[in-house]
A and B are shown apart, each in its own frame.
Chain A
Amino acid sequence: MVEGFLFAMFAGVAVGCALGVVFHRNPVHCALLLVGVLLSLAGIFVMLHAQFVAALQVIVYAGAIMVLFLFVVMLLNIKGESPLLSPGAAKGFGFLFALLVCVELFWTVVQPGGQEGVMPEAAPLAHDFGSPAALGKLLYTTWLYPFEITSILLLVAVVGAVVLAKRKFF
C-alpha cells in the first residue's frame, strides 16, 4: 500500500518533470526539472533495493552532470528559443516517430508471453542485495575488463575535452 503510493508519487513527479524538460522554454528551468526527474528516479531505485545505485544517481547525475549542464547554460547565456519547436514538417515527423516508438515500446512491454515466454516470479533477494560491498565484488571480478575499459574511456574524454576547449574549431 505504502509502496504503491510512493511509486505513484515518484512516477508522477518523474513524468511531469520530464515533460517540463522537453517543453519548457527556459534552459535553466529545463536543467532544474531534469534534476527533479533524476531525484525521483533515485527514489524508485531505493524501492527496487538498489540503494548504492540510488546514491550514485544523486551524487553523479544530479550532482556532477547537472552542475556541468547548468554551468554551460549560464556560461553561454542562451535565451529561450524563439519558436520553441522545430518548424513545420520536422516537428510533425518528430511527433510521428515518437508515437511509433511509444507504441512499439508499449507493445514490447505489455504483450503477454512473446517468443521468450513470460517473466518468472521475482527471485528472493540475498541479504546484501544492492549493497556497495556486493556491487564492488561483482565489479572487480566478473566485470573487471569492462571496468578497465571504462577508465580508458574516461581518460579519452578528459583529453578530448581539454583539446576541444583549447583550440578554435569550426
Chain B
Amino acid sequence: METTPAIPLIWYQVLAAILFTIGVVGVLVRRSALIIFMSIELMLNAVNLSLIAFSRQNGTMDGHILVFFVMAVAAAEVSIGLAIIVAIFRNRETASVDDVHLLKG
C-alpha cells in the first residue's frame, strides 16, 4: 500500500503538544470542576493523537490498542468524576474547586 505519508510525523506531534498545553492551561487556571474535566479530556485526546501518529509511522497497530484503553479509562473517569461533582453540588451548591476546601481545616 502507500508508503510515504503526505504529512510528516512531526506536524502531528506539534499539534498534539499544542492541544496538550491548552489542556494544561485549562486545568491550572479555570475554577469550574466541569471545565477542568473537559480540559483533562483535551489532554487525553492530545496523547491519543500522538499515539496514533506514532502507530502510523511504525506500521504497527499497538498504538490503536492503547488509544482504545485510554478511551475506556476516560469513560470510567468521567462517570465517576461527574458523579462526585453532582454529589458535591447537591450538598454545597457549588461546582467551583475554590469553594471545596473541607480538608483545609
List A residues at the B interface (Cβ < 8 Å).
1, 3-4, 7, 11, 14-15, 18-19, 21-22, 27, 30-31, 34, 37-38, 41, 44-45, 47-50, 52-53, 56-57, 60-61, 64-65, 68-69, 72-73, 75-76, 78, 81, 83-86, 90-91, 93-95, 97-98, 101-102, 105-106, 109-110, 119-127, 129-130, 134-135, 138-139, 142-143, 146, 150, 153-154, 156-158, 160-161, 164-165, 168-170
Q: Is the CB of B7 within 8 A of A69?
A: no
Closest to A123 in B: B59
Alpha-carbon distance between A135 and B87 when the two chains are bound, in angstroms = 38
Q: How far is the CB of B82 from chain A (nearest CB, A)?
A: 5
> Contact at A105–B45, with CB atoms within 8 Å?
no
Instruction: Indicate if the CB atoms of B75 and A64 lie closer than 8 Å.
Output: yes
Q: Does the CB pair A41–B55 fall under 8 Å?
A: no
CB pair B83–A21 under 8 Å, yes or no, is no
B contact residues vs A (CB 8 Å cutoff): 1-7, 9-15, 17-26, 28-32, 34-35, 37-39, 41-42, 45, 48-49, 52-53, 55-62, 64-65, 67-69, 71-80, 82-92, 95-96, 98, 102
How far in angstroms is the closest Cβ of chain A from B96? 7
B14 x A106 contact (CB < 8 A): yes
Asked if A60 and B32 sit within 8 Å, CB to CB, the answer is no
Which residues from A are CB-within-8-Å of B25? 22, 94-95, 98
Chain A to chain B contacts (Cβ below 8 Å), 13 pairs: A7-B7, A18-B22, A45-B49, A48-B52, A50-B56, A86-B31, A101-B20, A123-B57, A124-B1, A143-B65, A150-B72, A170-B87, A170-B88
Nearest CB on B from A16, distance (A): 10
Contact indicator A15/B18 (Cβ below 8 Å): yes
Q: Among A22, A38, A106, A165, find the residue whose CB has the most chain B CB atoms closer than 10 A.
A: A22
Contact of A44 among B30, B49, B65 (CB under 8 A): B49
Q: When the two chains form their complex, are residues A56 and B71 in contact, meaning their CB atoms are under 8 A apart?
A: yes
Q: Which residue of B lies closest to A164 (CB)?
A: B83
**With A98-B28, A165-B87 given, can you name 14 additional A-B contacts, CB distance below 8 Å?**
A7-B7, A22-B26, A22-B30, A30-B34, A30-B35, A45-B52, A53-B48, A56-B71, A57-B71, A61-B45, A90-B29, A94-B29, A102-B17, A119-B9
Cβ 8 A contact of B45, one of A41, A98, A142: A41
Structural contact, B35 and A76, CB atoms closer than 8 A = no
Contact A31 B38 (CB under 8 A): yes
Q: Are B90 and A153 in contact (CB under 8 A)?
A: no
Is A169 a contact partner of B91 (Cβ separation < 8 A)? Answer: yes
Compute how far the CA of A91 lies from the CA of B42 in the bound complex, rounded to whole angstroms.
19
